[in-house]
Amino acid sequence: MKRYKLKLCLFGGEGVGKTSLIKRYVYDEFDDRYLQTIGTKVSKKVVDVFIQGEDVEVQLYIWDIMGQKNYRDALKEAYFHGADALLGVADITRKETLDELDEWMDAMKGVVKDDAPVVFLGNKWDLKESAKFGREEIELMAEEHNGDYYFTSAKTGKHVEDAFTKLVERAVKRE
């Protein structure tokens, strides 16, 4: 069995649900209390994926990086350096959080691996009746950055596993 180690970084503005998505994916838990991430926190998860006819074990190191805009440039070298895969997170109830993902992508150029795959998430799908953007906007973002997209809910778990799995598969295929 082949084995890989991947550095996966989540990025996006404050309060979009990055920490909640990681808790849902790694521990299958959800807590709706907001706790601002200071600096970064790294979680580890070992997953098995089936790629091109064979089983592959992947040790994921998932970096949860604070979303404050004023720290973006200071953080990029320390936290994003050498990232194998990226997960951009926006809050569907706040359109500006989707727009900010372009700024994050620009800031990370030259720091992450050039061909690092990216998946964009429209998170908080459980609040879809309050959505401020839809499929067209996030699809355009994904196309612009050669990525994929999902609408997710850390609260219900909707598409969380799918999004991480898609990203891991793309990263392993690139290796």
Q: Could you state, in chain order, the average pLDDT of each consecutive group of 10 residues for the chain (175 residues)? A: 94 93 94 62 93 93 75 66 95 97 88 92 98 98 97 98 96 90
Joined together, the tokens standing for residue 107 give 């800031």
CATH, range 2-174: 3.40.50.300
Q: What is the pLDDT of residue 93?
A: 98
Q: What is the pLDDT of residue 38?
A: 52
Residue 157: strand, helix, or coil = coil
pLDDT at 132: 98
Phi and psi torsions of 92, nearest 5°? -60, -15
Q: Name the 3-class secondary structure at 43.
A: strand
Query: What's residue 20's pLDDT?
Result: 94
Distance CA 76, CA 35 (A): 22
* Confidence (pLDDT) at 37: 56
pLDDT of residue 39: 54
The pTM is what? 0.92
Dihedral angle sign, alpha carbons of residues 128, 130, 66, 142: positive
